[in-house]
Amino acid sequence: MTRPRGAAARGVFPAVPAVRAATIRDVAKRAGVSVSTVSRVVSGTGYVNADTRRLVEKAIAELGYVPSASARGLVARRTGTLGLCLPDAGPAAHLREPARTGSGVELITDDGTAPGGPAWGSLYFGEVVRGAEFAAWQAGLSVIVAVARPPEAEARARDLAGRVDGLIVVAGTLPDDVVEHVAHRVPVVLVAGPRPAGGYDHVGVDNARGVQVLVEHLVRAHGIRDVRYVAGRAGTPDDIGRFRGFRAAMRALGLPVPAEPALRGDFSRATGRRLARGLLAEHRGGRSPMPGALVCANDETALGFLDVLTAEGFDVPGDVALTGFDGIDGGRTSSPRLTTVEQPMTGLGRLAVDVLRACLADPRLPRQDLLVPVRVLLRESCGTH
Amino acid sequence: MTRPRGAAARGVFPAVPAVRAATIRDVAKRAGVSVSTVSRVVSGTGYVNADTRRLVEKAIAELGYVPSASARGLVARRTGTLGLCLPDAGPAAHLREPARTGSGVELITDDGTAPGGPAWGSLYFGEVVRGAEFAAWQAGLSVIVAVARPPEAEARARDLAGRVDGLIVVAGTLPDDVVEHVAHRVPVVLVAGPRPAGGYDHVGVDNARGVQVLVEHLVRAHGIRDVRYVAGRAGTPDDIGRFRGFRAAMRALGLPVPAEPALRGDFSRATGRRLARGLLAEHRGGRSPMPGALVCANDETALGFLDVLTAEGFDVPGDVALTGFDGIDGGRTSSPRLTTVEQPMTGLGRLAVDVLRACLADPRLPRQDLLVPVRVLLRESCGTH
DNA sequence: TTGTACGCGTTATCAT
DNA sequence: ATGATAACGCGTACAA
């Protein structure tokens, strides 16, 4: 019975006024004890008489009392919450429409291009959330998930910083000056992207080691010697790291180390197709033999190559082995299935939280820059099986 | 220079003490104004002299001041945050291991059964998060994502309730008494599952209409008359709603309305296969003709049927049309691709937030029970194209 | 074992 | 246009 009798007595009906939530004082009064006793019962600290405790617990249950995190956070100077700031990636156009309700059912002939598919799923940010939430849960912390959407991204980020004990920011989601501003208040961990200049913690994916292990596998296990790297968009940290791994592998294998990628795309499937057509034209013009393997900067690029190669009658991996990077679903269902390096997105989220916790526990610790190890998934496109 | 000179003066080195974040008082002092003026500048309310404003803004930037959400929440009696409570579904075993870092790279021969795939993605909860975050963003609210994990789920839920203005709870994630308890403090919206008994808002998927429209399509567009329903686990709200839609369609079409589903599975692919084998045995025993269409309670079940039917040389949809429900990825990549009803998971998240906001704006509003409309995706397995 | 009182950072009210 | 001050709900010393 939290509904104030006053309202009913006054005949206000059927209006149910917003009842103010019970406070620790209400509980104390109802249990006939002081607020400190209630506090002790709730927090489990200090000694409380068993009978008194029961009395208090009864009052708590009856009133549906829940301690205010605002008040707790104010006195404790910590909120017990971490913030996770994600980029606004993915086709969110269909989200912009007003939410629909009611019984209208759309009948859609899906020719494979229907909009509205899961965008987070394919872009993995959901996985970062999952990993971060789990690590935070282990530490008894909550996570606020925030997507940095252009118009008011800065103001929102500042607001978020006021709500949390630490902030995880995916690289490129916020302007540098905003990151610097909020870093005055809470520790910030940057995720992915380039190693940050300032004094921030950073966690990334071990791009280089992933490609290196993959290339060494191609050469050692499959005896391929003419391995070529198909780059992604120039200047991106991912592309740089992956090409570095490629060169490291070639060096370690005693093979010629290229100064530049054999081909350069932009991470897109369409460009992968275009590059593939160019390669085939050269090959058919007799200007160059087909390489033994194409190591692509990402799965989309590799799938673009696969589209063209199989359409043109080439055997993958017989004529040319093909590998990607990311571990997207399309590479699991292609034929042949795509050998790739899996992006450890849950691992990124978890590690970011762990790094943040370390900084929270002791801010004097030196800033960290950690890489999450990857897994190389060997499937048919490289000749495995 | 937020670092207190005192520490350096005392020769404490290299210890960098945790600097207390700047408060509104620090800003006021630095700008030579009162806290009230700073508050006015930050919140944008009231009149502030342009010069004074500049002074304050300068101090804010220099100190990296960010207002405390705890303090704001305390006085405003609202946190500006919503809570989203999700079930602990999905194989999270690999999350239990400690997070790895360093340069160890695993080489895994992926025979299609490798663990560690995206579990949220396939289970859609990531989509609910996405939809909820978006709707909250539109309303200027934050979202705390919390997975209710068994050991301390109740205590965590109560804690969460203390941090938010409203709670979205996916059906079945919390015991009823916990939901009732926290509902004393904040409005609660239940998502999916059965229509709640108590006075909670509820949003669900329009299971019935989805199946109804699908069945009417099968009959009207493809001329199929012998349509049979393959149920999921008995007693589940989804199964009940979908079978209800099936019956409604048959009734509307003037076809015989079955009292019970023709077959009953449990939403799993394995059981779908088993049921399919049973059906084939009956058919080959001459005991029954093949139906014109099998309307399955979900995609997994339908894919189980598809596995067996195609393996046994049946033509789908030629010999028998097949449909599912959910819109999982497997149905988009199967062959033939599976006609299905798409689960509007982002829509669920959005609608839940909108309902919560309505309740927050006026608690006296009657409780709502809304259904998110679905989309029927016509693909080859029902004979489209 | 229990109660009293202060302060956490902010906003709103009132006075200037 | 600006400043002083009283809440907001809770934890925690300290007193009893």
Distance from CA of B252 to the nearest CA of A (A): 16
- The predicted model gives A25-37 an average pLDDT of 92
The answer to whether A144 faces chain B, any CB pair under 8 Å, is yes
User: Rounded to the nearest 5°, which phi and psi values hold at A142?
Assistant: -100, 165
B145 half-sphere exposure, CB direction, 13 A CA radius: 29
Partner residue opposite A145 with nearest CB, options B73, B145, B184: B145
Question: Which nucleotide's C1' sits nearest to the alpha carbon of A70?
Answer: D9
| C-beta separation of A240 from A307 below 8 A | no
Banded model confidence at residue A248, pLDDT cuts 50, 70, 90: very high
Q: A43: which DSSP letter?
A: H
The answer to whether B15 faces chain A, any CB pair under 8 Å, is yes
Q: What pLDDT is recorded for position A95?
A: 59
pLDDT digits (tens, 9 = 90+) for A75-90: 999 999 999 999 886 5
Of residues A164, A209, A160, A188, the one with CA closest to residue A73: A164
Banded model confidence at residue A163, pLDDT cuts 50, 70, 90: very high
Of residues A2, A59, A69, the one with CA closest to residue A29: A59
| C-beta separation of A271 from A237 below 8 A | no
Inform me whether the pLDDT recorded for A9 exceeds 50: no
Query: Whole-angstrom Cα distance, residue A284 to residue A299?
Result: 25
Q: What pLDDT is recorded for position B118?
A: 41
Inform me whether the pLDDT recorded for A325 exceeds 50: yes
Q: What pLDDT is recorded for position A127?
A: 86
Query: Whole-angstrom Cα distance, residue B344 to residue B204?
Result: 10
- Is the CB atom of residue A71 positioned under 7 angstroms from any atom of strand C? yes
Question: Which nucleotide's C1' sits nearest to the alpha carbon of A28?
Answer: C3
CATH fold, domain B81-204+346-373, is Rossmann fold (3.40.50)
One-letter amino acid for residue B329 of the chain: D
A207-343+376-382 belongs to which homologous superfamily? Response regulator (3.40.50.2300)
Q: What pLDDT is recorded for position B103?
A: 61
pLDDT digits (tens, 9 = 90+) for A176-230: 999 999 999 999 999 998 888 878 999 999 999 999 999 999 999 999 999 999 9
Partner residue opposite A70 with nearest CB, options B65, B73, B103: B73
The answer to whether A20 faces chain B, any CB pair under 8 Å, is yes
The answer to whether A182 faces chain B, any CB pair under 8 Å, is yes
> Would you tell me which residues 99-118 of chain A have a C-beta closer than 8 angstroms to some C-beta of chain B?
99-112, 114, 116, 118
The three-state (H, E, C) secondary structure of chain B, written as one string: CCCCHHHHHCCCCCCCCCCCCCCHHHHHHHHCCCHHHHHHHHHCCCCCCHHHHHHHHHHHHHHCCCCCHHHHHHHHCCCCEEEEEEECCCCCHHHHCCCCCCCCCEEEECCCCCCCCCHHHHHCHHHHHHHHHHHHHHCCCEEEEEEECHHHHHHHHHHHHCCCCEEEEECCCCCHHHHHHHHCCCCEEEECCCCCCCCCEEEEECHHHHHHHHHHHHHHHHCCCCEEEEECCCCCHHHHHHHHHHHHHHHHHCCCCCCCCCEECCCCHHHHHHHHHHHHHHHHCCCCCCCCEEEECCHHHHHHHHHHHHHCCCCCCCCCEEECCECCHHHHHCCCCCEEEECCHHHHHHHHHHHHHHHHHCCCCCCCEEEECCEEEECHHHCCC
Banded model confidence at residue A251, pLDDT cuts 50, 70, 90: very high
Q: What pLDDT is recorded for position B7?
A: 31
Residues 6+ positions from B129 with CB-CB distance below 8 Å: A120, A126, A129, A145, B84, B86, B143, B145, B349
- Give the number of other CB atoms < 10 A from CB of residue B7: 14
Query: Whole-angstrom Cα distance, residue A27 to residue B114?
Result: 53
One-letter amino acid for residue B122 of the chain: S
pTM of the full structure: 0.88
Q: What pLDDT is recorded for position B116?
A: 42
Query: Whole-angstrom Cα distance, residue B182 to residue B196?
Result: 15
Inform me whether the pLDDT recorded for A98 exceeds 80: no
- Is the CB atom of residue B25 positioned under 7 angstroms from any atom of strand C? yes
Contact: B126, A118; criterion CB under 8 Å: yes
Query: Whole-angstrom Cα distance, residue A240 to residue B199?
Result: 57
| C-beta separation of A41 from A53 below 8 A | yes
Query: Whole-angstrom Cα distance, residue B155 to residue A73?
Result: 17
Task: Calculate what percentage of chain A has a pLDDT beyond 70.
Answer: 88
Contact: A95, B131; criterion CB under 8 Å: yes
| A359 vs B contacts (CB less than 8 Å) | none
Q: What pLDDT is recorded for position A150?
A: 82
Q: What pLDDT is recorded for position A116?
A: 42
Which carries the bigger pLDDT value, residue B1 or residue A302? A302
Check for a shared fold between B81-204+346-373 and B207-343+376-382: yes
Q: What pLDDT is recorded for position B307?
A: 97
Q: A165: which DSSP letter?
A: S
User: Rounded to the nearest 5°, which phi and psi values hold at A34?
Assistant: -90, 165
Contact: A147, B137; criterion CB under 8 Å: yes
- Report how far Cα B380 is from the mean position of its chain's Cα atoms: 28
Q: Tens digit of pLDDT per residue, chain B (385 long)? A: 333 333 322 222 222 235 688 999 999 999 999 999 999 999 988 888 999 999 999 999 999 999 999 999 999 999 999 999 998 865 554 555 656 666 677 777 877 654 444 444 445 688 899 999 999 999 999 999 999 998 788 999 999 999 999 999 999 899 999 999 999 899 999 999 988 887 899 999 999 999 999 999 999 999 999 999 999 999 999 999 999 999 999 999 999 999 999 999 999 999 999 999 999 999 998 888 899 999 999 999 999 999 999 999 999 999 999 999 998 888 988 989 999 999 888 999 999 999 999 999 988 889 999 999 999 999 999 998 7
Q: What pLDDT is recorded for position B99?
A: 64
One-letter amino acid for residue B154 of the chain: E
The answer to whether A334 faces chain B, any CB pair under 8 Å, is no
Q: Where are the domains of chain B?
A: 21-76, 81-204+346-373, 207-343+376-382
CB-proximal positions of chain C, under 7 Å: 1-5, 7-13
Of residues B21, B27, B16, B19, the one with CA closest to residue B60: B27
C1' of D5 to CA of A355 (Å):
42
Q: What pLDDT is recorded for position A50?
A: 87
| A109 vs B contacts (CB less than 8 Å) | 378, 384-385
A21-76 belongs to which homologous superfamily? lambda repressor-like DNA-binding domains (1.10.260.40)
C-alpha angle B130-A171-A351 in degrees, rounded to nearest 5: 80
Inform me whether the pLDDT recorded for A45 exceeds 90: no
